[in-house]
Every structure is written in C-alpha cells, then in structure tokens.
Structure 1
Amino acid sequence: MRLNKSAAPGEVDRHAVDLTDPLLFAHGDPHAVWEDMREHAPVHWQQVDDTLGFWSVTTFEDADLVLRDHTLFTSQRGTMLFLLGKDDPARGRQMAATDPPRHTRMRAPMQRALTNKRVEKYSDAVTAEVHRLLAPALGGERFDFAEAMMALPMATAGTMMGLPREDWPHLTRLTTMSIAPEDPEFGGPDGVDETLQGAHRELFAYFHDILRERRHHLGDDLVSLLLDMEIDGSRLETGAVLSNCYSLILGANVTTPFVPTGAMAEVVGTGVWDEWRTDPKLLNTGLDEALRWASPTNHFMRYALQDVELRGEKIRAGDAVVVWLGAANRDAEAFADPFTFDIRRKPNRHLAFGSGPHYCVGHTVARMSLKILFTELFQTFESFEFAGGIEHLHSNFVAGIKHMPMAGRVRRDAVGRLGEPAA
C-alpha cells in the first residue's frame, strides 16, 4: 500500500471506490480515499452486493471508540472483511473473536506469558535470526529486504510456540496465503476461495498434529499454555486451542515484517535514516513512528450491538463497521503533520496494535523484535540504497511490501559483526 499522501487530493469519487478490492491497496492510493472520507464522510457506507455492506470509520476518535467499546460493537461475528455476512466459526473460542468478560479470562494467562520480562529471554534467538537474515546484505549486493523481513516473525513465534525450525518457511507462506489469497504470488491456481480454504486446512491440520504430540509432553511454550489453560473451570476444547494457535501465528506473521519495510521505504537515502541511526535516544520514538506509519493491520471489523449514531450517521444494530487503522493513524486531529515520518513524534497514540480489550496481546514480542532488528541495522550498516522496484502485497487486510530490493553499505567499524556475507 502506498504510504505517502496522495499527489492529487480532491479527485476521489468515494462512492465509486471499493475498499474490499486488494488491488486498491497494492496499486492504488487508499490514503487519498481515506483523506477524502475523513473530511467529507468520516462514517461512510459501502454497499458490497444486493444484501451486504459495511460502514467505514476513518477518524482516530471514532476508530478508538469502535475498537474500545465492546458493549456497542462486538468482535464475535467476524473481525476481517472476508467474513462479512458470515458467522465466525471461532466466535467465543478464539481470543480475537470473543468479547469480554470471557475474552478477559482467556487473555489473562497469555498476557502473563508475554510480559516484557518473559519475552526478553527470547532476545538471543531473535538476534541470531536477525543476523542470519541480514547476512546476505553484507557484501553490498542486491538484497530483497522485504522478503527477508517476512521470515523474521517466526524467530519469536516459532520459538515461543515450540515449533520445529524446519517448518517455519512453510508456515510463513501459509499465513501469507491466509491474508493475501488474491496475490498472484501466494494464490493458488483454483482461485481465491480455494487458496484461503486450503491454507486454513493445512494450518489447522499442522497444529492438530502438534497438539497430539504436545499433550504428552507439555513444556514451557505457548501451545502448552493453551492446552493447560482453564476458562470457567474447564480446559479449552481442541477446536479452541487450534483456533488460538492459528490466531497467534497469524498475528505475528502478518504484522511485524511490514513495519520495517514501510519505514525503510520512507527513510532510506534521506537524512532521517542518518539521524535515526546515529542517535540512540531516538530508537524507541522512531519505532512507534514506524508502527504508526506502516499500520500493517489494515482493518478490523466489528458489528453494532445496538443502534448507534456516529458523525450524524445512524448505524443500525447488526450493521458491520470496519475500522481502517491506516486512516485513523493519519488523522490530523490526532497527529500533527500526519504525512511526515517524524522519529521524534511524542506523544504517539497510534492504533497499530488496536485499542481496548483486543489490544494486540503480542505487542511486547513485536516491539522486542523490531527493537533488535533496527539496532542491528543501525550498528551494522552505514546506508542503504534501492536496487529495484517496490512491490506491494495484494491484500485488503494487511498493508505490506512483499519485495523491496536494496543494497547496503556496511560500516567500517562493523565488519564481521553479523558474520561473513552469504555465498
């Protein structure tokens, strides 16, 4: 998805725009659409077919309300547009598709397992994976940074879930197929629906085999935690454990990789890179700005539980409401000069991790991974330059770059830091 401000605002026909179309986010300019909506129709109805439609929410204030208030807007009927008009089979069993108070009881053990202190013990594994992924760039040759980043999340998710390392590449591909079945690089020959269903079947079958083995050998990993978890006096049924395994790995693989690619696409070759790289005090504020800028999770969907009025529009009970996170994170009412990548931005109350009860439970993992990655980039490379065209993922759910060839120049004082260049 293009992350910059539209070059031609005011030429948008919001009534003709289809926000479900993955091509809009791969080749179009959704920020121009959202900017027009924020100004003229911040709560906007899109009719999808004869029976289905949804409200789009594009301001920060409204997005925060919809995500935060589970008494008005439920997660249990589906949280992604591909489920529009369908009942989510994971409702009440998967954390992402369950409302409080049950959601709170399901989330608590996972949240305790993902505190900063507990996550920190995985930092060595993440650092080693970052070294491995960046090693091909050490020789200064053309290096696909985006492709390398798509493999990064499994260093934490795979390790924390106790999944065999040899399975990580295939799991990464399956999760990408799940969120970008329209993408020609990840879609199958039999169409979007079969790609999506096939990816889901493989992922659930994979985790079914993992559960069968793990039940006899519980350990200190997140899969074992789910198997041993008790909610309302009972352990989770197999279907619920499978659903939450799927949610955990999907959440890791479809968010973290697209933050560094979005940031690098903006700062490479600019003074911002040099400033960010040379001032350690800017690491954390820069990371939050990268999260705001990339907004990798493109949307979350909710359903109204009762009639609600927003910005003068009457949302009826049962209507679908889609929060566009990238739009909310570019709202000038919430962020000064929102189309500028400001590594000093503070405060920065972005919604990249969501808001309210469903605030990303793995945000500590994502932050740790990103901090390690950018630390290694800054300490190893003097500069980067683009070495080819940028290609965006075809997806309405994830805003991401799938290919971004670059060439890096290693700092003189960092020779040998990541090992030898890949052969």
Structure 2
Amino acid sequence: MTTIEAITGPTRPVPDEIARRIVLPEGHRDETALFAAYKWLRENNPLAQVHVEGYDPLWLVTKHADILEIERQPELFCNGGGSDPGTHNPILTNQAGDAFTKSLTGGSLRILDALPYLDPPEHTAVKDVASDWFRPANLKRWEDRIRALATEAIARRLRPGGNELDLVKDFAIFYPLHVVMTLFGVPEEDEPRMMALTQEFFGTADPDEVRADVEPLSPEAAAKQWAAAIADFFAYFDVLVEDRRANPREDLASIIANARQADGEYWPKQFAYSWFVTIATAGHDTTTSTLAGTLEALAHHPDQLAAVQQDLTLIGDLINEGLRWCSPVKHFMRQATEDYELRGRHIKAGDRLMLLYQSGNRDTDVFDAPDEFRITRKPNRHMAFGYGPHMCTGQHLAKQELRIMFEELLPRIRSIEITGERKVTQTNFVGGLKSLPVRLELA
C-alpha cells in the first residue's frame, strides 16, 4: 500500500450543501458555486467520504495527485467490478437508477460493453479493436477532409460581418458531430437523429433533455432515459454493423464491425454497438463543450484572442488551456479492490471513489492561479482526458478537430461579445455550455 501525502492537522466535516453540490446533477447548474465547492474540499477535506441521500457512500477525490495515483492502478481501483464484472457502475447513478439498470440486465450494472465499463484484460482487448485508427499517424490522412468540414461549417453557419447567434446551439454543436459521423461513415441525413440521441444520452438529469417516454420526476428517471437512448442507438447501429460486414468500406464503422477476437470470430454485436455509442456521444459532445467554452473564454480575454491571431502556433497552447478550463468530463467512478491507504485515509475494499477531474484541473499544487484562463500556461498538466490505461482513446482526434477549426476560424474573428445569459447542461457526468448568446463579428 502507498501513501501519497498524509493529511496534516484535523480535517473539517463536509457540509451537506457541499456534498450535494458535487454529487447531485442539479448542483452543477451553477458553476461558480460548484467550483467554490471543489475549492473548499481541496483546502479543507481533499479526500472526503460523504453520504448523500439516495446514493451509496462515496469518496470525493479532489486533488490532482490523488486522481493520478488512482488512475495509474486499474488493478487496485476498478471500473466495472474487476474480477466480478458488472458489479460496479463507473458512472455515478443513484440507488434507484442502479436498481432499474439491474432489472433490465438480470442483475448487472454493465449496460454497455464499452471501455468505461471494462477492466483489464478485457479492457485492453476491446480497446485494441480501434486504438490504431486513433493514433496521430493515422489521423494525419484525415487532415484535409476535416479541414474541409471546418470551412464548410463556418460558411454554412456564419457570414461576414455581424452574427447574432447562440454560440452552442447555432454553431459549435454541429461541427464535431459532423466530423465524427463523416469519419464513422454515418450518412449526413442521419445526423439529426444522432444529435438528438446524444443530447438525451448525456442530458439524463437535465429537464430540458427529458424524453417524452420518461417520467421526469421519478428517482430512476435518469437511468430510464440512459437505457432508452442506448436501446435506440443499438437499433440504429445494428443496421450499420450488418451493412459493414456485408459491404466493408474505408471508414471507422467497418473497422469496428469487422473486428475479430483471438479465436477468429467476430466480436459480439454488443461490443460493436458500444464502440459506436461511445464514439457517437463522447466523440462529439466533449469536443463541442471545449470548442464553445474556449471561444467563451476568448470573448472575455480579447488580448489572448489577439495573441493567437498574431501567432497561430499558439493554438496548441490554447487548446490545452481550453481543455483544462472546460474539463467536459466531470467524473468517473472507481471501486477499491482491496484496502488502500491514500492521503492518510483508510479506503476499504469495495469503497467507491468519485474522481473529480474538474477539481484536479484547478488544483493550486499543480496550476498557478488556476481560476485564470491563460494560454501561456506551461507546463499544462491537465487531466481533461483522464490518465493511465483509461485515458481517452479519441484525444488526438479531438485535438485535431479543435486545432483545425481554430486555424480556420480565429483569423477571421474581429470580435466576440457575449450578449445573453450562459446556460450549462445539468449533469454531474459529461457536459458544459448548452447555450451562450453572442455577437460574433467576422472579416
């Protein structure tokens, strides 16, 4: 067992409002209060075990070093239950939601055969299905195609002169989806369906995204919407799998659909579906949040916008700071597989831990003045993509998309003015800005 840094002196009990602010999806609507709650924990009780009504007890992991310590040891802190797959949910859900999921699956919490639900060695084998496709060397061949999609998005959504628009709903949300679906091989006419399902998938706790077939106020409403969205995705992707096995093409869907296991047999369709769901959701929603959030930050810092416009080689630094600043993946859950000592606290086997990446990305032990947006921040050891073996497979594609869009868009911007109230998605999992009225002046 390892100890990172023993807590010196007494820690303060966590006020209920702090615990609820972080654990409950509705606590994330007010980002000012949310980040204040993270800061309070880092300063007063950085590794705190809390009990919020309706949820299993859990540890709130707020420090950058502690998150890294946990992430680099998947054998000690599992995703889906370790040697007993399906007994742990890597996404925080209330007790009613977990019970509903078990009622659908015959007792398992593994509703998707996707990477976030898997542990080694299964995680490694499934990840290898498409990991080569996401390597930078392979992605270079898509550079021109993605650039064409970026210029098309600007031409379609914006015009020279003044543009009064919602930066998220009218612009940022479309480009990442179009890129992912194009590389995937999904027809453009099906993108509205993918968009709607993605919003339902990540907006399970947001009143604005509740499906008509889900009772919004029931305790298990979020889990019901999650399951319903997954079922709709599966129905669509079943047709895609059958088509690509019969008629393979030069696209990512063909690689996944035709992947085979060590015995030469196809992976079960559920694994292909789950790959598709992961790419179709996380592959565009996180990039949308980072694109919109970074442009919002530049609106507040016109000097930094001007600096990037004068030297486009700063775009890489801008992207890293945008990722740290936005941190669209707010958490993943881990479960201790054995007793462990961390920061002077005794974590017991079976305990659940909520890794708070947004908090880690504002840790003063790692980042100077973390509540300031600085494109000159170096080094920038952000954890927006996670860390260790569970680090985001699509991180290089996300950075490529952002870089190309900024290269095409930023030189044309004369000014960005925020003209209305910002709104964020009500979620404790993945999300960011969902509405930001702006006036965007383009050359």
Alpha-carbon distance, 1:157 to partner: 1.6
Counterparts of 1:275 and 1:52, CA distance in 2: 48
Amino acid paired to 2:118: T
Q: Which residue pairs with 2:90 in the alignment?
A: 79
Q: Which moved more, 1:355-364 or 1:41-50?
A: 41-50
Alpha-carbon distance, 1:27 to partner: 2.3
Counterparts of 1:168 and 1:288, CA distance in 2: 28
Mapping 1:215-294, distance limit 5 Å = 215-233=245-263, 234-270=265-301, 271-294=303-326
Give the secondary-structure state (helix, strand or coil) at the position aligned to 1:372: helix
Please, which of 296, 307, 329 is the counterpart of residue 361 of structure 2? 329
Give the secondary-structure state (helix, strand or coil) at the position aligned to 2:353: strand
Say whether the 8 Å CA contact 2:55–2:93 is kept in structure 1.
no
Counterparts of 1:39 and 1:174, CA distance in 2: 39
Mapping 1:115-154, distance limit 5 Å = 115-135=135-155, 136-138=157-159, 139-147=161-169, 148-154=171-177
CA-to-aligned-CA distance 1:388-416 (integer Å, 9 cap, x gap): 221111111124001112122223xxxxx
Alpha-carbon distance, 1:51 to partner: 6.9
Counterparts of 2:362 and 2:354, CA distance in 1: 16
1:213 paired with 2:254, answer no
Q: Which moved more, 1:122-131 or 1:171-180?
A: 122-131
Counterparts of 2:420 and 2:17, CA distance in 1: 33
RMSD, aligned CA: 2.0
Alpha-carbon distance, 1:109 to partner: 3.8
Q: Residues 188 and 287 (structure 1 numbering): CA distance in 2 closer, same or farther, change over 3 Å?
A: same
Say whether the 8 Å CA contact 1:59–1:328 is kept in structure 2.
yes
1:352 paired with 2:373, answer no
Say whether the 8 Å CA contact 1:94–1:247 is kept in structure 2.
yes
1:39 paired with 2:39, answer no
Q: Residues 284 and 409 (structure 1 numbering): CA distance in 2 closer, same or farther, change over 3 Å?
A: same
Give the secondary-structure state (helix, strand or coil) at the position aligned to 1:323: strand
Counterparts of 2:436 and 2:154, CA distance in 1: 14
Mapping 1:271-420, distance limit 5 Å = 271-411=303-443
Counterparts of 2:110 and 2:273, CA distance in 1: 12
Alpha-carbon distance, 1:314 to partner: 1.8
1:163 paired with 2:189, answer no
Counterparts of 2:71 and 2:94, CA distance in 1: 17
1:176 paired with 2:202, answer no
Say whether the 8 Å CA contact 1:46–1:53 is kept in structure 2.
yes
Alpha-carbon distance, 1:99 to partner: 1.7
Amino acid paired to 2:25: P
Alpha-carbon distance, 1:90 to partner: 4.8
Say whether the 8 Å CA contact 2:14–2:45 is kept in structure 1.
no
Q: Which moved more, 1:187-196 or 1:308-317?
A: 187-196
| TM-score of the two chains, using structure 2 as the length reference | 0.85
CA-to-aligned-CA distance 1:196-254 (integer Å, 9 cap, x gap): 33212211111112112222112222222122223332431111211221122222122
Counterparts of 1:211 and 1:306, CA distance in 2: 39
Q: Which residue pairs with 1:55 in the alignment?
A: 59
CA-to-aligned-CA distance 1:180-206 (integer Å, 9 cap, x gap): 122232112432344333212211111
Give the secondary-structure state (helix, strand or coil) at the position aligned to 2:186: coil
Q: Residues 308 and 144 (structure 1 numbering): CA distance in 2 closer, same or farther, change over 3 Å?
A: same
For these two proteins, the number of residue pairs brought into alignment is 399
Is there any run of 5+ residues in structure 1 with no aligned partner, and where? 1-11, 412-423
Q: Which residue pairs with 2:85 in the alignment?
A: none
Q: Residues 231 and 90 (structure 1 numbering): CA distance in 2 closer, same or farther, change over 3 Å?
A: farther
Counterparts of 2:398 and 2:55, CA distance in 1: 38
CA-to-aligned-CA distance 1:44-99 (integer Å, 9 cap, x gap): 122133771211100000111222210110011222112765643257x4222222
Amino acid paired to 1:292: R
Counterparts of 2:403 and 2:424, CA distance in 1: 24
CA-to-aligned-CA distance 1:92-115 (integer Å, 9 cap, x gap): x42222222332232234121112
Task: State the percentage of identical aligned residues.
Answer: 27
Counterparts of 1:145 and 1:245, CA distance in 2: 27
Amino acid paired to 2:383: L
